[in-house]
């Protein structure tokens, strides 16, 4: 187990980039054969927009890497955090760490991004995508992503987890981000069965419906238990889904300049 975790702790930057490329590319190819929705769009133009946002995300990751390193040095030296108070097998501690990160850095912060007005204005960029596919998982306003990363670090401090736990979670989260956004069609029975434990492609697509109440549902990223536990779980017919968001014009979806300034446009009337 220690060797397994050591691999993630010492992953080179090129290995992380390769993992992102492999997962994203894999689902992008599968979309061509097992599409949930037969989009009539230029896949490369759409991807270019979302890859620009991915560039912002990767730059922020580099900057946060310095802060993250300092936090892990502090937690290690101070022995601060819940995991420091427990004597559990390392595999059990890893599971607890992933659960805590999934709750705090995914479900809870995602819930806030929908309920706090200024956060919602940032998050509109993600929801303005009118063709949800694997690349949509990379589509976050830079300030939106900074908020998410901040909550992840809060979870790290509370749990007092080692860096290997955090990096394993990040690798796992990359897979689920592209998996749940991918425009792929799983057999309905399998998708429904999996949705009792994890977030599935069908399940997350309802979150990208253009209107309430579905927009404010299915906030999870890895585990579906949070949506079931807190009453935000939805599962219906995917053919009733329309992508985008009703307060942003569909035609602006690939306009990078417009998208980056959405949070500051008072002409866009939010729900709060």
- Per-residue pLDDT tens for 47-82? 999 999 999 988 888 887 777 888 888 887 888 889
Dump pLDDT digits (tens) for 116-153. Answer: 999 999 999 999 999 999 999 999 999 999 999 999 99
What is the Cα–Cα distance from 238 to 241, expressed in whole angstroms? 5
Q: List residues bridging with 223 in a β-sheet.
A: 198
Dump pLDDT digits (tens) for 147-181. Answer: 999 999 999 999 999 889 999 999 999 999 999 99
Dump pLDDT digits (tens) for 45-55. Answer: 899 999 999 99
Tokens of 105: 């850095």
Q: How many CB atoms lie within 10 A of CB 48?
A: 13
What is the Cα–Cα distance from 150 to 101, expressed in whole angstroms? 11
Q: What is the mean pLDDT of residues 80-85?
A: 88
Q: Is residue 83 part of a domain?
A: yes
Q: Which of 21, 5, 2 is nearest to 13 (CA)?
A: 21
State the pLDDT at residue 22: 95
Q: Residue 271 — very low, low, confident or very high, per pLDDT cuts 50/70/90?
A: low
- Decide if 155 contacts 170 (C-beta within 8 A): no
Question: In the predicted model, is pLDDT for residue 272 greater than 70?
Answer: no
Q: Is residue 18 part of a domain?
A: no
Residue 25 host element (H or E)? helix 13-31
Q: Is residue 133 part of a domain?
A: yes
pTM value? 0.92
**Full residue range of the structural domain in which residue 165 is found:** 2-9+35-261
Q: Is residue 237 part of a domain?
A: yes
Tokens of 99: 């659960």
State the pLDDT at residue 110: 97
- Of how many residues is the chain composed? 272
Tokens of 37: 């929705």
State the pLDDT at residue 185: 95
Q: Is residue 257 part of a domain?
A: yes
Q: Is residue 24 part of a domain?
A: no
Q: Is residue 86 part of a domain?
A: yes
Q: What is the mean pLDDT of the chain?
A: 92
How many separate domains does the chain show? 1
Q: Is residue 173 part of a domain?
A: yes
What is the Cα–Cα distance from 29 to 163, expressed in whole angstroms? 32
């Amino acid at each position: 187990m220690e060797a397994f975790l050591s691999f993630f702790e010492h992953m080179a930057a090129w290995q992380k980039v390769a993992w992102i490329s492999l997962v994203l590319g894999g689902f992008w190819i599968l979309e061509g054969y097992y599409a949930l929705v037969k989009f009539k769009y230029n896949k490369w133009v759409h991807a270019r927009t979302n890859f620009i946002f991915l560039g912002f995300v990767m730059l922020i990751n580099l900057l946060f890497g310095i802060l993250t390193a300092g936090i892990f040095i502090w937690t290690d030296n101070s022995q601060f955090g819940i995991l420091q108070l427990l004597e559990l097998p390392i595999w059990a501690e890893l599971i607890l760490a992933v659960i805590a990160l999934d709750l705090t850095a995914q479900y809870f912060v995602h819930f806030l991004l929908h309920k706090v007005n200024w956060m919602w204005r940032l998050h509109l960029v993600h929801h303005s995508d009118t063709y949800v596919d694997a690349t949509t998982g990379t589509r976050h306003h830079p300030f939106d992503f900074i908020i998410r990363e901040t909550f992840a670090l809060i979870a790290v401090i509370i749990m007092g987890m080692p860096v290997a736990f955090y990096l394993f979670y990040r690798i796992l989260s990359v897979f689920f981000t592209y998996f749940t956004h991918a425009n792929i069609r799983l057999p309905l029975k399998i998708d429904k069965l999996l949705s009792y434990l994890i977030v599935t492609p069908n399940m997350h697509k309802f979150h990208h419906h253009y209107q309430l109440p579905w927009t404010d549902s299915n906030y999870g990223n890895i585990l579906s238990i949070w949506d079931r536990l807190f009453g935000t779980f939805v599962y219906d017919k995917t053919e009733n889904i329309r992508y985008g968001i009703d307060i942003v014009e569909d035609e602006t979806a690939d306009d990078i300049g417009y998208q980056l300034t959405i949070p500051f446009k008072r002409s866009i009337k939010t729900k709060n």
